[in-house]
Structure 1
Amino acid sequence: MMTITRSEVLLKEARFYAFHGVMSQERKVGAEYTVSVTVGYDYAKAAESDTVDDTLNYAELYELVKSEMMQPSQLLEHVALRIGKAIFQKWTETAYADIQLIKNNPPMGAACAGAGVNLHLTNDKTKQC
């Protein structure tokens, strides 16, 4: 006998060209971004049924993230929170969401692969971590 104690749906390093930034030039010219999302979601039913309707469909997750990425914002923090809110609104039984949003080659005069934010959100309705 076994028990699924934790299950997650992942979207790893999805790439987008979007128009976020504090400087107006960033919002005009745009930049490349990488987004990774981990969603705590009980997919035990889908694991048994082998039916996509019983799970959080990662193709739909990608489209949700894409939609939020296409809305220009000054701060990556704001975009990450919007993504999280949209996840909880669409999949209300989500336990938590981890969102990593990286601006590749940020315009800050430093040689680095990227800079960005990590956000961990817990759904107060599910009381799981």
Structure 2
Amino acid sequence: MNAVIELKSMKFYAFHGVAPQERAVGNRFVVDVWLKADIGRAAETDCLDDTIDYAAVYAVVKEEMAQPSQLLEAVAGRILRALRGRFPRILQAKVSVAKRNPPFGGDVESAVVTLEG
């Protein structure tokens, strides 16, 4: 049985951006993860080993967010690859990385990149 696991609005302070000031000062980021996985057995066994550990997913995202990058695309790509490598039950995945108040010189709530694969 396939199911969807989502971790929404994971908040991080990180140092991603093209401008030197972004990499020096940092910014707030929000990450959403959507995972389609074969975890039907967990519905019957009530055993963590039969599903994807949500805390472990968070730990992967946190680790990747700690590595500075210029582009949100690179951050989202690293997270996606790390999740798929760590959790073989994943059939499909989507990762969104949002930079809050990007330095565009205007009133922009966030810039968001979503990768799926």
TM-score after normalising by structure 2: 0.96
Q: Is the partner of 1:119 in helix, strand or coil?
A: strand
Partner of 1:125: none
Q: Which has the larger radius of gyration?
A: 1
In structure 2, distance between residues paired with 1:46 and 1:110: 47
Partner of 2:105: 109
Cα shift at 1:80: 0.3
C-alpha root-mean-square deviation of aligned residues, in Å? 0.9
Cα shift at 1:102: 0.2
Cα shift at 1:116: 1.7
| Partner AA of 1:43 in structure 2 | I
Partner of 1:63: 59
Higher strand share: 2
2:39 and 2:89 in contact (8 A); partners too: no
2:96 and 2:115 in contact (8 A); partners too: yes
Alignment partner for residue 47 of structure 2, among 47, 51, 54?
51
In structure 1, distance between residues paired with 2:94 and 2:85: 15
Stretches of structure 2 that go unaligned for 5 or more consecutive residues are: none
Q: Is the partner of 2:107 in helix, strand or coil?
A: coil
Runs ≥4 residues deviating over 6 A: none
In structure 1, distance between residues paired with 2:27 and 2:35: 26
In structure 2, distance between residues paired with 1:19 and 1:94: 28
Partner of 1:32: 28
1:12 aligns with 2:8: yes
Alignment partner for residue 96 of structure 1, among 85, 92, 97?
92
In structure 2, distance between residues paired with 1:58 and 1:79: 20
